[in-house]
Structure 1
Amino acid sequence: MAAFAYKTGPAVSKKAKKRLANLHAYPTLETFQNPVTRGIARRLANDGFRKCLNEIDFEYRLTDVEYGEAACVKYETRSSKPGDTIILFIHGGGFITGSPHANAAMILPTAELSGVEAYGVEYPLLPEGRFPAPIDSVDRLYKALVAEDPDRKIVLFADSTGCAIALAAVMRWREEGVASPAGAVLISPVVDGMGASDTHITLNSVDPLYNADNGKAWRKLFEFYAPGEDLSSPQVSPIYGEFKWAPPMLVHAGTREVCLGDAARLSEKAWTSGGDATLRVFDGMYHLFQMHWSLDEAKRAHQDIANFVTRVRR
């Protein structure tokens, strides 16, 4: 699939073109469902995430910590300092791969640019971590952080399937009367288990990482995540929920990813509900390009996120 990288517009940076030429498709869902191949597939995926840390050119530290019964990773950089705001990171990985450590390259640049401390939640992965276990983990950490300092502002930062977990948690907090986050950063959101977005069809041939199979791949993934559940339930697929209650949202997506449709629909739903949502679409970019800090496009994206964090923390 890397051959698609050779057909890029002149606006795409040379580094990004080279990166596109070397991308490989994610392992199929079947390789994760098979107990014989699951461990190998997970290790390969996580190794790919970890390699992105080689592009980080500033000092950072990752520390395992606990808040009550909530396990998490604390992210510190040379400029991030304790204060009145923290970022709560919910990593993606198809509910199957990833971790706060492996996916650290996604959150560290924003922590550095915004000067805000960040925490990444540990949640159970499939097949053990079926719905709603990941949401429960986010819920425990968020409530522990709120209990520690009710006046502190918390900005959610989620990517890919982590966005479905994050928004489901926000809906739960609204129903329970728990204080809402100050804002939510949603990178390449995967928030529709029905796979209904048109870009699953129109962009499938130019996405170097996914084969959406006309949305069927998304439905299979969410059926694995939430077996027996209604995939159009807002707790499973937040795109079908109400968004007039939502905190300010910043949504990122690229023109070379099938997730663009979810990002567009999510933003539109927030707008039509009277919510505060900003959609940024990056020309020529692929799923989670923000993890590749050496790219000019990633630097601009993280500066945009840092500006959003600064705005909502005021």
Structure 2
Amino acid sequence: MIRESPEEFLEIIRSHTPDPKLPLAAARQDFSAFYKDMQEETIGSTTHQVEKVMFRDGVAGYWISVPESDPDHVVLFFHGGGFTIGSTEDHLGLCLRLARAAGTKVFSVDYRLAPEHVFPAPVEDAVAAYRYLQSRGYAPHRILPAGISAGGTLVLGLLLTVRDQHLTLPPAAVCLSPEVDMLFEGESVAKNQERDWITAGRLHAIRTVYLAGHDPQDPIASPLHASLAGLPRLYIQVGTHELLVSDVGKFVDKARWAGVPVQAELWEGMFHCWQVFAEQIPEAQQAIEHAGRFIRSIQAR
């Protein structure tokens, strides 16, 4: 159901933007409650199963399936939240919609968060999850990593690490509104400050807390600074009103120059992580359906 226009709804999201001045526990609680409320109808009306597993010490993953799920394929999903907040629970509606659109199971990872666990802990969890799925009988060509915001960054960090460790890569990956450069120097950071809900202050806090003094140009933290040759096919969505759209554009260009097949979609008027809000704006469900078609196309090869 459409409640507001994207412009009107943006004001609601802004009122729940994580405040760096708040205690972290309070920021996490508010973010989670808001995201769950925005996806409540999807979760309540969708037939689904969720199974929690601890696939490494202190790190949980969630098997999520709907009646349409093909048990032979899995989307390895990483939630958003700027590496400091977020979980599978507050992205469950998105996972369910993605499972239905892709016709596959989803394995969503509650990777470790900063400041308790700083870079590269989440990337290590992503690699461990990829290895775990293979231990459960999923060959790499049946695994498709996908993530939103910080989760999209982790997808790219996972691919770079797997490539550099000379392991078998998955056939493709999906990145929704990824953060690709921890320097956050793209021109859209200033240009879109009135068009997005995420703020320059929030980006600075993400870099400070997550990296904890680590080089922001580390290619695993900032894939824009990596050598991208040898990566698998990428599908990327970004909105024209995102603070990060310039950085994503530079990454797409660099990946294509490196010979990486990239399907990039630029969504007019969309803000950061609009895909989460499919109950509020139609463009979110449309974007999920596009991602689902891409995943189905890879599975059919």
Instruction: Give ranges in structure 1 of 5+ residues lacking alignment.
Output: 1-11, 32-36
Tell me how far 1:92 sits from its aligned partner.
Answer: 1.1
Unaligned runs of 5+ in 2: none
Q: Establish whether residue 274 from structure 1 lines up as the match of residue 259 from structure 2.
A: yes
* Per-residue deviation, 1:72: 0.1
* Equivalences, count: 293
Percent identity of paired positions between Structure 1 and Structure 2 = 24
What is the RMSD computed on CA atoms of the aligned residues? 2.0
Which residue does the alignment assign to 2:10? 20
TM-score by length of 1: 0.87
Give the partner amino acid of 1:126: A
- The AA in structure 2 aligned to 1:22 is I
Distance, in Å, in 2 between the alignment partners of 1:220 and 1:71 is 25
1:159-206 Cα deviation digits (max 9, x unpaired):
111222221121111111111122111111112111121110111122
Aligned partner (choices 58, 76, 81) of residue 88 of structure 1: 76
Amino acid at match of 1:72: G
TM-score between both structures, scaled by the size of structure 2: 0.90
Q: Which whole-Å CA distance do the structure 2 matches of 1:17 and 1:55 have between them?
A: 22
Distance 2:3 2:19 in 1: 29
Matched residue, 2:187:
198
Match of 1:299 among 263, 285, 290: 285
CA contact (8 A) 1:189 1:263 kept: yes
Residue in 2 that maps onto 1:162 = 151
Provide the C-alpha distance between the structure 1 equivalents of 2:82 and 2:53, rounded to a whole number of angstroms: 24
Kept in 2: contact 1:86–1:116 (CA 8 A): yes
Report what 1:8 is aligned to. Answer: none
Return the structure number with greater relative CO, CA threshold 8 A, min gap 6: 2
Encode CA deviations 1:262-310: one digit per residue, 9 max, x unaligned.
2212211111111111111111211111112233211211111011101
Aligned to 1:29: 20
1:45-72 per-residue CA deviation (whole Å, 9 max, x = no partner) reads: 1111111222414322322123465520
Q: CA deviation at 1:219?
A: 4.2
Paired AA for residue 279 in structure 1? A
Which of 257, 264, 271 pairs up with 1:286?
271
Distance change >3 Å, CA 106–CA 266, structure 1 → 2:
farther
The 1:194–1:68 alpha-carbon spacing in structure 2 relative to 1, beyond 3 Å, is closer
